[in-house]
């Protein structure tokens, strides 16, 4: 029996998928689109084909949340092979250099890893989706064209050495958006004097969502795949749980959807202009995502609408 469903353009929200090894992120999105019959779908942060773990799939109007979800912190578990470097910085590449791995005390590895905590400069891998003069770096790398990618600042919030079975070291990494664990592993290998590449990579969390909440597409029963995915869709209203919530009436919701920028006191006297964002809701629906700002030339506080939802 086919997994294909009729087109359902009214579906909107997030779906947490546990991507399997060997599958591209686009392939996972395509599978979800086929099962649910949705036309518009994307994801909030690519996983390399060899990697597994949490992929946040965006459905319908949920694609408008992509930049906000992608900006969240990420958590990974990585197994790093010391003594061997590859051109892709992972197990799928060609070995370009090998070095001996001496008996390394656990404390020495932890000390070297601790040096990467905080804000660091990182060069993205040559085989990455970073653009160079309008072309993806991996497209150029596959053609043998070497390019110098610019360093970028990323933040490593946690880098724990979980266990060692040399030449393998398993790490728990919590980092900012835009961090390449492959580059981090290569830099750690260089600091240890051994070189390194990533053997196993699994995304455990993205923002407030964890892989424990996710579903593997291959685990779905063929006859019940559509119903199971529908049951797991996270509504737009709950997509950014860290943002404060403010209800609006029907007329205000209508005006906002027509482009109106409300003054803060029109909504409630009790909203403080604190840090973070506001989810403007009407019943079960997300009307808009906004932030509190100072109005130019006025003492009034305004809401800057970041995204408006139908």
Phi, psi of 242 (to 5 degrees): -75, -15
Expressed as residue numbers, the domain containing 298 is: 244-308
pLDDT in tens, 57-109: 999 999 999 999 999 999 999 999 999 999 999 999 999 999 999 999 999 99
- 198 with 103, same domain: the answer is yes
5 falls within a domain: no
- 176 with 103, same domain: the answer is yes
pLDDT in tens, 102-123: 999 999 999 999 999 999 998 7
pLDDT in tens, 177-227: 989 999 999 999 999 999 999 999 999 999 999 999 999 999 998 888 999
Which of 40, 50, 43 shows the shortest CA–CA distance to 28?
Answer: 43
Half-sphere exposure of 165 toward its Cβ, with a 13 Å CA cutoff?
Answer: 2
- 232 with 259, same domain: the answer is no
CATH value at residue 262:
2.30.130.10
pLDDT of residue 4: 42
8 falls within a domain: no
7 falls within a domain: no
- 137 with 214, same domain: the answer is no
Q: Quote the Cα angle for 74-78-81, to 5°.
A: 150
Instruction: Point out the residues that are catalytic.
Output: 48
CATH value at residue 54:
3.30.2350.10
- 79 with 188, same domain: the answer is yes
Whole-angstrom CA distances from 306 to 64, 65, 88, 109, 242 are 10, 10, 37, 44, 16
Determine what percent of the chain is predicted with pLDDT higher than 90: 70
Computed over every residue of the chain, the mean pLDDT equals 87
- 131 with 233, same domain: the answer is no
């Amino acid at each position: 029996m086919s997994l294909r469903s009729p087109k359902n353009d009214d579906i909107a929200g997030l779906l947490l998928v546990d991507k399997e090894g060997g599958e591209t992120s686009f392939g996972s999105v395509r599978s979800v689109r086929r099962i649910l019959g949705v036309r518009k779908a994307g994801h909030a942060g690519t996983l390399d084909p060899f990697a597994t773990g949490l992929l946040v799939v965006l459905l319908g109007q949920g694609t408008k949340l992509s930049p906000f979800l992608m900006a969240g912190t990420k958590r990974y578990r990585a197994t790093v092979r010391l003594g061997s470097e590859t051109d892709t910085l992972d197990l799928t590449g060609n070995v370009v250099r090998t070095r001996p791995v001496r008996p390394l005390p656990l404390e020495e590895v932890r000390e070297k890893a601790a040096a990467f905590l905080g804000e660091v400069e990182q060069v993205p891998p040559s085989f990455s989706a970073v653009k160079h003069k309008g072309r993806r770096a991996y497209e150029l790398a596959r053609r043998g064209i070497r390019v110098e990618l610019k360093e970028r600042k990323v933040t490593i919030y946690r880098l724990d050495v979980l266990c060692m079975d040399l030449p393998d070291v398993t790490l728990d990494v919590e980092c900012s958006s835009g961090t390449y664990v492959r580059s981090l592993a290569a830099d750690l290998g260089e600091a240890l004097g051994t070189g390194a590449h990533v053997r196993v990579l699994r995304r455990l969390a993205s923002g407030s969502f964890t892989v424990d909440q996710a579903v593997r597409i291959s685990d779905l029963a063929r006859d019940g795949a559509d119903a199971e995915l529908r049951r797991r869709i996270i509504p737009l209203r709950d997509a950014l749980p860290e943002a404060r919530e403010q209800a609006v009436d029907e007329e205000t919701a209508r005006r906002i959807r027509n482009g109106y920028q409300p003054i803060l006191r029109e909504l409630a006297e009790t909203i403080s202009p604190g840090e973070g964002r506001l989810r403007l809701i009407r019943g079960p629906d997300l009307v808009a995502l906004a932030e509190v700002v100072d109005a130019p030339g006025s003492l009034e506080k305004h809401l800057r609408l970041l995204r408006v939802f139908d």
